[in-house]
Structure 1
Amino acid sequence: MKKPVFKNIFKFTLAAGLFSGILFTAAVPTAGNKTKIVSLAENKLGARMALFSQLKLDSLGLSKDAYAYALAGLEKLEKEGKLANPDLLTIADFSLPSSKKRLFVIDLKKGEVLFNTLVSHGRNSGTAVATNFSNTPESFKSSLGFYVTGQTYKGEHGYSLRLAGEEQGINDNAMSRGIVMHSAKYVSEQIAKLQGYIGRSLGCPAIPEQVHRQIIEAIKDGTCLFLYSPDKSYMANSKMLMPTDTTIV
């Protein structure tokens, strides 16, 4: 007997190039060929989206746009088999200034924010706020988009994490550029209070020394990292943000 096919429909409302809302529903066939609309809580993506309110992520400063886009990209990476752990999502929200705790590590299965801390952007991406991005070697700019975390190693900055950029022409030079997650003394609340912004990297998402090992251990080996900004060029060129229909058998 052929199994019923369910379609998740993602309805994206775009305004001025920015994401303004997302609706998840599922059309489920029932007896008599009638269709039942399944609520958010009854499908995985809907449940994940509902965590934004449940975890009060807006009160922590995370953009709802960043979170919704992150879920869309996470789903694509998961479908492509690129994630060893699709229940863990890390977002660096570069729409926020660097003085804010704009790195969020979220366990989607347990419904917990594991970490919320500072994270740097590249020195040529901007001072307090990152506004310029590049995939070019030696640009010393951050590259937006989706990454899959790799293996750990000990390098110039100690315990570090390799990052594989998944977006062609946007961040796919990450490995050759040496874009990794590492700790840095200049990523601290004290420096933020002193000068209004933290130090900047050569393009790496550097994190505080006090928590870097815990974060890297949590997100290493095949989880999704999303560096977000409402940058017009990124929004226009990223294929990871496009709405899709997902067939679940």
Structure 2
Amino acid sequence: MSMRNRLLASLHPDDLDAFEPWLEEVSLPRKRELSLPGEETLDCYFLKDGIGSTVIVSPEGHQTEIGVFGREGMSPASAVLGASSNPYRVVMQVDGSGYRIETKRLIELMEQRPRVRTMLLRWAQVFAAQAATTALSNAVHSVDERLARWVLMCHDRLSGDEMSLTHEFLSIMLAVRRPSVTTALHTLEGNKLIFSQRATIIVRDRRGLEAFAADAYGTSENEYARLLGDFREI
């Protein structure tokens, strides 16, 4: 099996051989929920393409995104830390596909194979760094800078420059109301960094977006490179 997930593709051949019998290829359409708060985590997902969104939900139903993952990672990260349930909602933000594995099988593989355990714990560290960076960015960066960061993060995880991101998802991603999303999109368009039409964003100037986002982008990406290798190498 040729692996299109960065974590699985980086496994030692012996470890990958142990994984393969337990991996089920699945289609993951947009809005498919992979995990719900408080429910037992029966399965874990390693994406091949598409983007998953990890969202925290308040008791009153307010939502904000704390992190995204794609072919570079897996979800929920809480499972590799031994937690039987995940406190977050995990939902597909962009259509994709991936490999599903029973959580109990994944835990067994981690217990039997130290290299697998080390890799997945490093991924959990990277995802924690992303969540922390999101909290900092929501506190100190403008909506325009945060939008540039999220567009870059989605661009990292997709093939090509076009992405389907609705205003509904963008408002959750940025923890703002939809009118603020519209204004931020217009700002990036005015700087000729993106083109936005309906539920589609097209990246026009990747380097310009990185410069615009400044220190809002790069911390968790650098952590991934430090612990797991080239972020975009599949």
Instruction: Flag whether TM exceeds 0.5 (same fold).
Output: no
Greater share of residues in helix: 2
Larger gyration radius, structure 1 or structure 2: 1
Greater share of residues in strand: 1
